[in-house]
Amino acid sequence: MASGFFALFDDIAALMDDVVVMSKISTKKTAGILGDDLAVNAEKATGFVSSRELPVLWAITKGSFLNKLIILPIAFLLSAFAPWGVKLALVLGGVYLAFEGAEKIYEFFVPHEHTKIKIDEETVSEEEVLKVEKTKIKSAIFTDFILSVEIVIIALGTVLGRPILFQIIVVSIVAIIATVGVYGIVALIVRMDDFGYRLVKLSSKKKSISKFIGNLLINALPVVIKSLSVIGTIALILVSGGIFVHNIDFLHHFLGGLPSILRDFIVGLIVGAIAVLVVKLFKLIFKRKVIK
């Protein structure tokens, strides 16, 4: 009886050790999307008055948790009853990621104006401020939903074929890490400039260490957000390319002589460029039909 009891504990320990290992692997696989998620949400959480940044970010975080509560059961049902659906969702999601990455590169070389919502507490009413906040929060939660689908599907793709309980534990851990990690870092980023201002005010001297560090943090915020955007774009293309190479037989040996990271980037960029071209053509055709 005692030996059976200890054997059960041994099995549980082995299972948890396996879960930790697979959680690490799954988290690494989703790192590219997490980088883009971080960049997107850091950008969306800025532009508010200081007192509203954290409440807005908390609202987006709650929306992100709700997104994953919706996505996870659907993903597990697919895995249990239609595993091919997970692979299909993974490839389709890869097309979206490749499109998003390629579109960002296209917009860098062929820029066009974006409508930016700015909030100035002194010139608009509290009701208008809350209305604009709700608009940005909804936009951020919708973007998070799309990225969350990819995070969950990619994580699930690493444990396909394992027992369903194992899949649930691993993917749920990755989903929690993704949400807490991304939005925790975003919170630090959006408060970087405020912390810098406080450091600047600590000393009345023209030159001091606190002022130097404070000004550095203030000036670093836009650079950090822009850098995250660039890193996120590259990561999107790499992740999508890796999805295609590992899930489409035709691409298994494509450019086999190149390093895998370069091959993934090229494949992701080619698919992304095709997707952007198709979308642009559809938009052009639609506009012509509307004009006629």
Task: Look at residue 222 and tell me whether its pLDDT is greater than 60.
Answer: yes
Task: Look at residue 8 and tell me whether its pLDDT is greater than 60.
Answer: no
Residues 6 or more apart whose Cβ sits within 8 Å of residue 169: 19
Contact 263, 254 (CB under 8 A): yes
Q: Which two tokens stand for residue 214?
A: 């404070």
For the stretch 235-244, pLDDT in tens is: 778 878 888 8
pLDDT at position 3 is 47
Considering all CA atoms of the chain, what is the largest pairwise distance in Å, rounded to the nearest integer?
82
Residues 259, 256: Cα–Cα separation, whole Å = 8
pLDDT at position 22 is 53
Task: Look at residue 215 and tell me whether its pLDDT is greater than 80.
Answer: yes
Number of Cβ atoms within 10 Å of the Cβ of 8: 10
* pLDDT, mean of residues 191-211: 78
Task: Look at residue 159 and tell me whether its pLDDT is greater than 50.
Answer: yes
Residues 96, 102: Cα–Cα separation, whole Å = 10
For the stretch 114-134, pLDDT in tens is: 544 444 545 556 676 677 778
Number of Cβ atoms within 10 Å of the Cβ of 109: 6
What does pTM read for this prediction? 0.69
Going by the DSSP 8-state scheme, the letter that residue 243 receives in this structure is H
* pLDDT, mean of residues 200-225: 79
Residue 255 — left, alpha, or beta (φ > 0 → left; ψ -120 to 50 → alpha)? left
* pLDDT, mean of residues 175-197: 80
- For residue 73, report the phi and psi dihedrals to the nearest 5 degrees: -60, -40
